[in-house]
């Protein structure tokens, strides 16, 4: 019997652990983003401009807007230019 020393419970694929909880991530950047945006009771900080929805990650808000607030027939001219000009910051 040849037993290699593979430690159970340890996954080399997720070596970056969150400092605050037990979540582990494969990528340091993902872990960082989790620490900054998701971990604990963080308030979602990305507010949808069309509805009360808030997202913790900017990318999630983008997905939400595309999914819920972009009727195919409006994308072309009216809505788009309107949105672009109303965005401040």
Least Å distance, CB 67 to Zn ion, is 9
Nearest to 65 by CA among 85, 80, 81, 43: 80
Closer to Zn ion at the Cβ: 4 or 67?
67
Proportion of the chain in helix, strand, coil states, percent, rounded to 5? 35, 10, 55
User: Taking a C-beta distance cutoff of 8 angstroms, is the pair 25, 34 a contact?
Assistant: yes
Size of the site for Zn ion (CB under 5 A): 9
Closer to Zn ion by Cβ: residue 18 or 83: 18
Q: Measure the CA–CA gap between 72 and 68, rounded to whole angstroms.
A: 11
Is residue 83 involved in binding Zn ion (CB under 5 A)? no
Q: Which is nearer to Zn ion, 10 or 20 (CB)?
A: 20
End-to-end alpha-carbon separation of the chain, Å?
A: 66
Tell which positions 6-65 bind Zn ion, by CB under 5 A. 18, 20-21, 23, 39, 48, 50-51, 53
Residues that bind Zn ion (CB under 5 A): 18, 20-21, 23, 39, 48, 50-51, 53
């Amino acid at each position: 019997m040849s037993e290699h020393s593979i430690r159970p419970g340890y996954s080399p694929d997720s070596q970056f652990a969150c400092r605050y909880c037990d979540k582990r991530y494969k990528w340091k950047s993902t872990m960082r983003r989790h620490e900054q945006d998701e971990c604990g009771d963080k308030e979602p900080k990305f507010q949808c401009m069309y509805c009360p929805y808030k997202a913790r990650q900017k990318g999630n808000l983008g997905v939400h807007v595309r999914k819920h607030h972009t009727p195919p027939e409006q994308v072309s001219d009216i809505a788009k230019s309107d949105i672009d000009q109303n965005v401040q910051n």
